[in-house]
Amino acid sequence: MTRQYTRHYEHHEIVWHGVTISINYEPRWLNLSDDYGLDTAHLEIEAIAPERAPLPITETGYRSHFTSARAVVAMGGPVALVRTWLDEEAATPAWRRQAAAARQFTLF
């Protein structure tokens, strides 16, 4: 008999640069103990207001990301990890160009 595992996502919302972002985090996505060395965690990041607004980590406003639970803890939790990731990617020339182009469209 196969045992069914119920997901236990933590839900967080943040506002980053005027965009409300939903962060869903499941620290035990594979439901395996650390004995196997597989502490796979799952993050779902979605811009919810404005809906599916582009973010530096996703042009579509949605990102599914797998990492280790240890990495999430080391970054200070899922919210701190996502904020740091967004800030780092927002500092890239590609995102700066995209953000500047989006601002130009709002002027006219």
For 40-67, the pLDDT digits (tens) are 999 999 999 999 999 999 999 999 999 9
Do residues 13 and 20 touch, judged by C-beta distance below 8 A?
yes
Q: What's the rounded Cα separation, in Å, for the pair 63 and 76?
A: 20
pLDDT at 108 over 80: no
- What's the total number of domains in the chain? 1
pTM of the full predicted structure?
0.84
Q: Is residue 1 part of a domain?
A: no
**2 lies in some domain:** no
Domain contains 65:
yes
In a domain, 79, yes or no: yes
Q: Report if residue 103 sits inside a domain.
A: yes
Domain assignment of residue 18, yes or no: yes
Structural domain containing residue 92: 10-107
Predicted confidence at residue 98, as pLDDT, reads 85
Between CA 22 and CA 37 the distance in angstroms is 29
Q: Tell me if 3 is assigned to some domain.
A: no
